[in-house]
Amino acid sequence: MKLLLDVHVPAAVVDALVRRHADADIVHLRDWRDGACIGKEDQEILATAATEGRTLFTYDLRTIPSLLRTFAETNVDHAGVIFADDHSIPTDDVGAIAAALGALWREQGDENWTNRAVFLRPTKRGK
């Protein structure tokens, strides 16, 4: 699994996850493609991420779910989306986010993420 962290996710999660999993392929949106996608529409970000097989991790429950429905209705593929919210894993808890993403990466990282959407579960450490 190759991860792309949305702007709603602290950039420190990249370092925390790489410390736990040295082989993790993870990049923050601000650093991905030299920041060229900052400010782009979500549709363009998901389409570009799909060209690299990058699964998006986001806290954006306002716009991304409806965009995924539109993608499905128009047969547009994406490389997967992982959702979280502040009720399950607060955005300021970098360790909990990294732990939960690391657990998901270990359990399902080798699977095909095309058109998948999942909600990130906190680990016991993250609760």
CATH code assigned at 104: 3.40.50
pLDDT at 119: 96
- Integer Cα distance of 11 and 51 in angstroms: 22
Is 127 within a domain?
no
pLDDT at 125: 53
Q: With contact defined as beta carbons under 8 Å apart, do 81 and 116 qualify?
A: yes
Question: Total structural domains in the chain?
Answer: 1
Q: With contact defined as beta carbons under 8 Å apart, do 5 and 57 qualify?
A: yes
pLDDT at 69: 97
pLDDT at 92: 94
pLDDT at 103: 93
Q: With contact defined as beta carbons under 8 Å apart, do 61 and 120 qualify?
A: no
Is 126 within a domain?
no
Is 124 within a domain?
no
Whose tokens are 């732990």? That residue is 99
pLDDT along the chain (127 residues), means of 10: 94 90 88 88 95 96 96 96 96 94 92 96 69
Is 36 within a domain?
yes
pLDDT at 39: 85
Claim: this prediction has a pTM higher than 0.85: yes
- Integer Cα distance of 18 and 98 in angstroms: 9
Is 92 within a domain?
yes
Is 35 within a domain?
yes
Host domain of residue 94: 2-119
Tokens representing residue 25 in the block: 């392929």
Is 41 within a domain?
yes
Is 91 within a domain?
yes
